[in-house]
Amino acid sequence: MLKNGGLLTDFLSDTLPERNNFIKRNRIIAGLADATLVVESGIKGGALITADIANSYNRDVFAVPGRPEDQWSAGCNSLIKSNKAAMAECADDIEYFLDWKPEKSKPPVQKSLFSDLTETEQLIYELLSRENELTIDTICRTMDLPVYKLSAILLQMEFKGIIKCYPGNLYRTA
């Protein structure tokens, strides 16, 4: 999907775009996205349903505040007021909250420093070096390790400064 795009749906291709199907679609979107941003919403609306779904998935939710008397800002203001969403006034706010930083050129890593890696850590490091970035699920399948063991190993590798975890549970070499 990253290279060529893709289509993900619960419905057959001849299904009409009916109103109740948007909510079903939005649960998929909320699950795939690192964060949900609500720009404008009345006090009741599909965007608020999507925000609630994203919150239930432990995803970050942001809302753009609006004028208190504006009916189309009531939903966003309510999300912010009830602490269901962080206030986002600009893209920099989201970048800050999600700890997204522009890619900088990485200094070369001296591999001999990693002589204290276990065999499993070395295999994970080589896998991440080869693939650039992977989710914890992909690493689990590739390494044939249960998630509870892999989580502990990845955390130790983060403490050693060898790998980093990014939004969406993506792991990359440091």
DSSP state of 125: H
Residue 166 pairs in a beta bridge with: 170
CA–CA gap between residue 81 and residue 171 (Å, rounded): 34
Per-residue pLDDT of the chain (174 residues; tens, 9 = 90+): 677 777 777 778 788 878 777 778 888 888 888 899 999 999 988 889 999 999 999 999 999 999 989 998 999 999 999 999 999 999 989 988 888 877 666 666 555 555 688 899 999 999 999 998 999 889 999 999 998 899 999 998 988 888 998 887 889 998
Report if pTM > 0.75.
no
Amino acid at 63: A
Judge whether 35 and 62 are in contact, CB under 8 Å.
yes
> Which residues are CB-neighbours of 126 under 8 A, at least 6 positions away?
none
